[in-house]
Amino acid sequence: MVTTPDRAVMRWLFAFSGVVAALIVFGGFVRLTRSGLSIVEWKPVTGVMPPIGEQAWHDAFAAYRRSPEFLIVNSSMTLDEFQRIFLIEWLHRLIARLAGFAFLIPFAVFVARRRIPRRDLGPYLAMGSLFVLQAVAGWVMVASGLESRPSVSHINLSVHLLLAFTLFALALWTALEHRSAPVVPRRGAVW
């Protein structure tokens, strides 16, 4: 529960909630376009850039051609078609990375400036933990579709989506608490 309301923190959390909502919607687009299994490696740091140059694209496509999705479903896929689905999934991961920074940087600034008191850190630490769990669950989900069948585990997909909804709800709830947090009474009468 937020004990010290702060309008700047509230606005940041509303904006972050919006980014998470957009990421959820884009994740649905990734699912509908069947793009999620196009990147067969999880490189949280070095995977920020898409393949650059023809050889890099051929290498990424060669890795995808070893996946069950290519072997069973998309065996006639061309490099151009692969680039389209790859870029959709890459954009999803890029937006997720940017959302991580949209959480981490303002959070660190607000804590450093004591705009978020120590006694109120619980929901924010939970949001950060949910974000990390969300990323790991996303990779576990993708990895489940790279083993023997050309689709992800529905359980892993559900966990990934549930964590996203939980993160969205917690960020929005905390923002709303800043909007209507009770004012802590001061000692003595206020005239």
Which tens digit of pLDDT belongs to each residue from 26-83? 999 999 999 988 998 888 877 888 999 999 999 999 999 999 999 999 999 999 999 9
Q: Residue 153's closest CA among 165, 142, 162?
A: 142
In a domain, 129, yes or no: yes
In a domain, 41, yes or no: yes
In a domain, 191, yes or no: no
- pLDDT at site 147: 85
Distances (CA, A) of 126 to 68, 123, 164, 171: 36, 5, 13, 10
Tens-digit pLDDT profile for residues 99-135? 999 999 999 999 999 999 888 899 999 999 999 999 9
% of the chain exceeding 90 in pLDDT? 72
Q: Under a CB-based contact definition with an 8 Å cutoff, are residues 37 and 142 in contact?
A: yes
Greater pLDDT, 95 or 47: 95
- pLDDT at site 78: 94
Say which range, 55-69, 140-154, 170-184, has the weakest mean pLDDT. Answer: 170-184
In a domain, 24, yes or no: yes
Domain enclosing residue 22, as ranges: 16-180
In a domain, 190, yes or no: no
In a domain, 157, yes or no: yes
In a domain, 54, yes or no: yes
The reply to whether the predicted model has a pTM over 0.75 is yes
How many domains does the chain fold into? 1
In a domain, 120, yes or no: yes
Tell how many helices (H) and how many strands (E) occur in the chain.
Answer: 6, 0
C-alpha to C-alpha distance for 160 and 170, rounded to whole angstroms: 16
At position 126, the amino acid (one-letter code) is A
C-alpha to C-alpha distance for 104 and 184, rounded to whole angstroms: 28
